[in-house]
């Protein structure tokens, strides 16, 4: 797979997916910790597909801030990204170290996942979850141009899902959901999983709920690229936000819905251009802050990370970045 033309940041992610079934190369047990105590069963037909992004969001944040620091220094990010592969061979696994450091904080980083599960349950859906057996969708392989590896991974992942009797998947991470929905059928013969995104499921049943956000807020919504332009989920998040009492939806003039600007964290770009990705994140945050919103809501672990960093950089005092699943969860509690 090393043609020499694939940037090192991407080969790093690809190696991890192939060897450890997740983008960071950490153990699967760690990733499933967020679901402890939720009692999500295996072996049911409808499963919640948690994906890498939210499960590792805290680790990724640390990794990104490290990568950015180095990218801005004279060394450049290529060296450490490439170096990480040698470290692994030497038994010095950087991501393991981050994870161990971060594990002390408990699973708090994966809040949107637990929130999403609570929301589904309130809507009368009891999804299963494959925990440490959940396969990696491998989307970064596809985006890196490593289609042969992606295809192998997709067939294996499909096999795993089938072996647990899965028939329907509720996806939440935009990249994973798009991979399962649009990409898997291209590479897996007789692909028969019914894939829906969390927001489609929720928007279809939202009418049955009384929703009220704990305080009066102005909210803007950032459309993740994969959700809005690839999965075409445009109205659902808006319908959901408008259904919540105490929330006023305010959007940018031009850069909204299909015209939303990418947060700069797409398709592994952040691993190749850590510093440039930060510039783009802060540009997007600026467009959203112009709406005067108190809360920037989005629905993608990458976007959340990028926008948080952007708001911090722009000193957007008091402006919060929240995942839509969390907002929904908060609106249901009251």
Partner 1 sequence: MKKTSDFKSYKKEIMEAARDDRLRLALTRAIKSFRANVKNALEKFPHTVDLAQEVVRIKEKSIPQMEELARRAVAAIEENNGRGYIAGTAEEALKIIADLVGTGKVVVKGKTMTGEEIGLREHLEAKGNEVYETDLGEFIIQKMGSRPMHITSPAIHVPREDVARLFSKVLGQGITEESGITEMVAAAREYLRDKFFQADIGISGANVVAAETGTLFIIENEGNVRLSTSVPPVHIALVGMEKLVPTISDAFKVAEVTWRYANYTIPSYVSLISGPSKTGDIEKVTTYGAHGPKEFHVIFLDGGRTRLAKHPRLMEALYCLRCGACLYECPVFGVTAGHFGDKYFAGIGAVWAAIVNEDPEKAASIAYTCLTCGRCKQRCPVDIDIPEMIIELRKLLAEGE
Which residue, 3 or 208, is less far from partner 1 as judged by CB?
3
Interface of this chain with partner 1, residues 148 to 167, rule: CB under 8 A: 148
Q: Binding marks (x or -) toward partner 1, 184..223, rule CB under 8 A?
A: ----------------------------------------
From residue 85, give the alpha-carbon distance in Å to each of 14, 60, 88.
Answer: 11, 17, 5
Give the nearest distance from C-beta 280 to partner 1 in angstroms.
Answer: 5
Nearest CA to 214 out of 170, 244, 182, 169 is that of 244
Q: List the beta bridge partners of residue 48.
A: 170
Query: How many residues of this chain interact with partner 1, rule: CB under 8 A?
Result: 37
**Contact criterion met (CB below 8 Å) for 303 and 260:** no
5: left (phi over 0), alpha (psi -120 to 50) or beta: alpha
Say if residue 209 is exposed, middle or buried (CB neighbours under 10 Å; 0-12, 13-18, 19+): middle
* One residue of 49, 56, 142, 181 binding partner 1 per CB under 8 A: 142
Give the nearest distance from C-beta 211 to partner 1 in angstroms.
Answer: 31
Does residue 124 interact with partner 1 by CB under 8 A? no
The string of DSSP codes covering 7-53 is -HHHHHHHHHHHHHSSTT---HHHHGGGGTTT-PPSS-SEEEE--HH
Q: Binding marks (x or -) toward partner 1, 284..313, rule CB under 8 A?
A: x-----------------------------
Q: Is 218 helix (H, G, I), strand (E, B) or coil?
A: strand
Q: Exposure string (b/e) for 233-272, b if CB count within 10 Å is 16 or more?
A: bbebbbebbebbeebebebbeebbeeebbbbbbbbbbbbb
Interface of this chain with partner 1, residues 54 to 83, rule: CB under 8 A: 76, 78
Stretch that binds partner 1, among 29-37, 114-122, 125-133, 274-282 (CB under 8 A): 274-282
Distance CA 59, CA 30 (A): 11
Give the nearest distance from C-beta 104 to partner 1 in angstroms.
Answer: 34
**Contact criterion met (CB below 8 Å) for 120 and 203:** no
Interface of this chain with partner 1, residues 229 to 258, rule: CB under 8 A: 229-230, 254, 258
* One residue of 10, 26, 32, 179 binding partner 1 per CB under 8 A: 10
Does residue 139 interact with partner 1 by CB under 8 A? no
Give the nearest distance from C-beta 247 to partner 1 in angstroms.
Answer: 27
Does residue 272 interact with partner 1 by CB under 8 A? yes
Which residue, 202 or 308, is less far from partner 1 as judged by CB?
308
Which residue, 10 or 40, is less far from partner 1 as judged by CB?
10
Q: What is the contact surface with partner 1 in residues (CB under 8 A)? A: 1, 3-7, 10, 76, 78, 142-148, 225, 229-230, 254, 258-262, 264, 266-267, 269, 272-273, 275-276, 279-280, 283-284
């Amino acid at each position: 797979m090393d043609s020499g033309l694939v940037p090192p940041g991407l080969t790093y992610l690809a190696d991890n997916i192939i060897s450890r079934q997740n983008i960071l190369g950490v153990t699967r047990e760690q990733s499933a910790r967020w679901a402890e105590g939720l009692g999500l069963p295996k072996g049911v037909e409808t499963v919640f597909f948690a994906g890498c992004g939210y499960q590792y969001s805290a680790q990724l944040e640390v990794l990104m801030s490290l990568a950015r620091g180095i990218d801005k220094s004279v060394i450049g990010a290529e060296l450490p990204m490439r170096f990480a592969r040698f470290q692994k061979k030497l038994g010095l696994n950087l991501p393991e170290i981050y994870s161990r450091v971060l594990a002390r904080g408990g699973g708090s980083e994966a809040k949107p996942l637990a929130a999403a599960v609570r929301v589904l349950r309130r809507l009368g859906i009891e999804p299963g979850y494959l925990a440490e057996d959940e396969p990696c969708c491998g989307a970064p392989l596809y985006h890196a141009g490593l289609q042969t590896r992606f295809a192998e991974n997709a067939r294996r992942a499909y096999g795993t899902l089938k072996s647990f009797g899965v028939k329907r998947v509720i996806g939440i991470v935009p990249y994973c959901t798009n991979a399962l929905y649009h990409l898997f059928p291209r590479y897996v013969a007789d692909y028969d999983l019914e894939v829906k995104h969390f927001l489609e499921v929720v928007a279809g049943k939202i009418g049955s709920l009384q929703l009220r956000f704990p305080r009066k807020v102005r909210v803007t919504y950032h459309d993740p690229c994969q959700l809005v332009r690839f999965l075409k989920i445009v109205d659902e998040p808006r319908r959901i936000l408008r259904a919540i009492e105490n929330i006023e939806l305010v959007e940018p003039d031009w850069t909204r819905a299909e015209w939303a600007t990418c947060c700069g964290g797409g398709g592994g770009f952040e691993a190749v251009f850590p510093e440039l990705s930060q510039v783009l994140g802060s540009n997007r945050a600026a467009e959203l802050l112009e709406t005067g919103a108190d809360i920037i809501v989005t629905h993608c672990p990458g976007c959340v990370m990028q926008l948080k960093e952007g708001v911090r950089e722009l000193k957007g005092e008091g402006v919060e970045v929240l995942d839509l699943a969390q907002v929904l969860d908060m609106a249901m509690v009251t």
